[in-house]
Structure 1
Amino acid sequence: MRQDISYVPFHERPLRRLPQLLLGLALFGFSVSLMVRAALGVNPWAVLYEGLELRTPLSFGTISAVLGVLVLLLWIPLRQRPTLGTGANIVVLAVSSDLGLLVVPEGLGLPIRIGLLVGGVLLNALSVAVYVGARFGPGPRDGLMTGAAAVTGRSIRQVRTLIEIAVLALGWLLGGTVGVGTVLYALAVGPATQFFLPWFAYRSPRDEPRESALAD
């Protein structure tokens, strides 16, 4: 069954959904730090963060937050509206990724780094299912993707591919790490997220009339 992950207003069971949102975002930031410390290649946006970290005095997490805010400016012509989930995405990811980089040391042996990479990719997929399943709205980058798809008439898959190729190329030119981990992430995170999502997708009472209508 396809899981509904559309936005649900804050006032609907916030004590059930808000901890799930925050936990998912914290795990996401930590999973990114694991992939960075594996030094075998990271996801496209993290490649860009790494590249900018090499060129600026800012930390990895701070760069992710700054770019998150800049991406929000691109929402304006796309007529996208930020939600609580959007703001939490920027703040929690920045803090948790920097904390993860403080906790996990650099210069580990190859077997440990492979473990960090595989664990980071799986944890990343799990964390996406957790925070997306809370249904508090998209983060800055996801909102850019869905908004651009709506405006251009292209599929979300096409828009996401174009955005991530551009981000990856820029990050690589700036010195970010591209490698087997980048390929593993691209191939595995989507299917793994889809696998985990039914466990965490919040079912709203608003969904019931829609499901009844579809059944009729």
Structure 2
Amino acid sequence: MRKNILAFIKLFFGYFVCAVGIVMTINSNLGLAPWDVFHQGLSKLTGITIGRAHILTGVSIVALSSIFGEKVGWGTIFNMLFIGIFIDFLMLNNLIPIFNKFLPSLIMMLLGLLVLGFGCYLYLSVGWGSGPRDGLMIALVKKTNKSVRFIKNIQEIIAVSIGYILGGSVGIGTFLMAILGGYFMQFAFKIAKFDVSQIQHRFIEDDIKFIKEKFICKKS
């Protein structure tokens, strides 16, 4: 029980750190990260907040990933909901400063990528499932036999293109984040001495089987 409580705290702290990193990149005003261009465009189209657009996109992606046969963990569901909630909390309360000059904005954006990398480490290391967008990427890699880099790039190109058409902000920061995001995440993982390939995720399906075996089968 104590182990699960600590894992739960680490998971949600990781989501909050991810939200801080995302808002830092948004408030740097150099252009949004590829998926955030889509979220902002969807926000402008529908009139909902960016956080709610993040949640709505996550729900759609999880549904699509499930169709492709990718398993869903509790962490996937929580990721889908709470990062968006934390983004709205930070932005609506103006808890992270907004920069307009190039050098402070660039520093803010790069720090945001690093913070996001640490947030991903925190929630992924719990082993309760990856985020919706990463889950879709994994599902498409399995289905198409294409490389992770190829699928990730295609996903982000589509997200940026649709987001831009809908009115999302594209700038030099968008291209920098597309290029540097993976490097900063890898750097954060290295500092934390975290090997993502060693993580064994626990899925909702596993918990359902456990409950059936533990309670239903015993009664039988």
Shorter-chain TM-score range: 0.7 to 0.9
Instruction: Give, in whole Å, the separation in 1 of the partners of 2:103 and 2:66.
Output: 45
Match of 1:24 in 2: 14
Match of 2:73 in 1: 83
Q: What are the superposed Cα offsets for residues 149-174 of structure 1, whole Å, 9 maximum, x if unpaired?
A: 10111122211111111111111111
**Are 2:137 and 2:151, in contact at CA under 8 Å, matched by a contact in 1?**
yes
State whether structure 2 residue 48 is matched by structure 1 residue 68: no
Match of 1:126 in 2: 118
For residues 206 and 175 of structure 1, do their structure 2 counterparts lie closer, same or farther at Cα, with a shift above 3 Å needed?
A: closer
What amino acid does structure 2 have at the position aligned with 1:150? K
- How many residue pairs get aligned? The number is 196
Q: CA deviation at 1:43?
A: 1.1
Match of 1:167 in 2: 159
Q: What are the superposed Cα offsets for residues 171-212 of structure 1, whole Å, 9 maximum, x if unpaired?
A: 111111111211221222212222222416489x998xxxxx
Instruction: Give, in whole Å, the separation in 1 of the partners of 2:193 and 2:166.
Output: 37
- 1:100 aligned to 84, 90, 94, which one? 90
State whether structure 2 residue 141 is matched by structure 1 residue 149: yes
What amino acid does structure 1 have at the position aligned with 2:57? L
Q: What are the superposed Cα offsets for residues 38-69 of structure 1, whole Å, 9 maximum, x if unpaired?
A: 21112111000111111222110001101111
Question: SS in structure 1 opposite 2:170?
Answer: coil
What amino acid does structure 1 have at the position aligned with 2:64? L
Range moving further from structure 2, 138-147 or 30-39: 30-39
Q: CA deviation at 1:109?
A: 4.6
**Unpaired stretches in structure 1, ≥5 consecutive residues:** 1-10, 208-216
For residues 85 and 200 of structure 1, do their structure 2 counterparts lie closer, same or farther at Cα, with a shift above 3 Å needed?
A: farther
**Are 2:23 and 2:87, in contact at CA under 8 Å, matched by a contact in 1?**
yes
**Unpaired stretches in structure 2, ≥5 consecutive residues:** 201-220
**Are 1:53 and 1:60, in contact at CA under 8 Å, matched by a contact in 2?**
yes
Match of 2:207 in 1: none
Structure 1-normalised TM-score? Answer: 0.81
Instruction: Give, in whole Å, the separation in 1 of the partners of 2:21 and 2:103.
Output: 18
Q: CA deviation at 1:96?
A: 1.0
Match of 1:138 in 2: 130
Q: CA deviation at 1:76?
A: 2.7
Match of 2:178 in 1: 186
- 1:44 aligned to 34, 44, 47, which one? 34
What amino acid does structure 2 have at the position aligned with 1:187? I
Q: CA deviation at 1:135?
A: 1.8
Q: What are the superposed Cα offsets for residues 102-123 of structure 1, whole Å, 9 maximum, x if unpaired?
A: 2235575555433322221221
